[in-house]
């Protein structure tokens, strides 16, 4: 059975992640990875925090809040009260 385009893309991304992982493991520690390589990996991997994502608006989350998706105004994730507790 042939893979869908989405499945092919996922498979390619998995292979890229494995290649990057193997490359990173070839260094003794993170401190020995050249800065240009670190920046390239960060660019490929994407943001490391929720605040780094463009569709997340959490300027000052507080204890007990959850991420909720809203389509009011601009579609995005926001910090909101958890109404299920």
Give the tens place of pLDDT for each residue, 19-37.
877 777 777 666 677 788 7
* In a shared domain, residues 2 and 35: yes
* In a shared domain, residues 30 and 53: no
* In a shared domain, residues 42 and 6: yes
* In a shared domain, residues 37 and 54: no
In terms of residue numbers, what domain contains 66?
49-85
Beta strands in 10-64 (DSSP E): 56-57
CA distances from 67 to 43, 54, 61, 74, 78 (A): 25, 14, 9, 15, 5
Count of domains in the chain? 2
* In a shared domain, residues 40 and 11: yes
Of residues 61 and 46, more confidently modeled: 61
Global confidence as pTM:
0.44
């Amino acid at each position: 059975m042939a893979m869908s385009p989405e499945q092919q893309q996922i498979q390619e991304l998995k292979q890229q992640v494995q290649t990057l992982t193997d490359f990173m493991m070839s260094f003794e520690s993170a401190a020995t990875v050249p800065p240009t390589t670190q920046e390239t990996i960060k660019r490929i991997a994407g943001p490391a925090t929720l605040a780094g994502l463009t569709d997340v608006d959490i300027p000052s989350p507080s204890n007990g809040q959850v991420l909720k998706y809203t389509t009011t105004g601009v579609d995005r994730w926001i910090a909101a009260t958890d109404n299920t507790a």
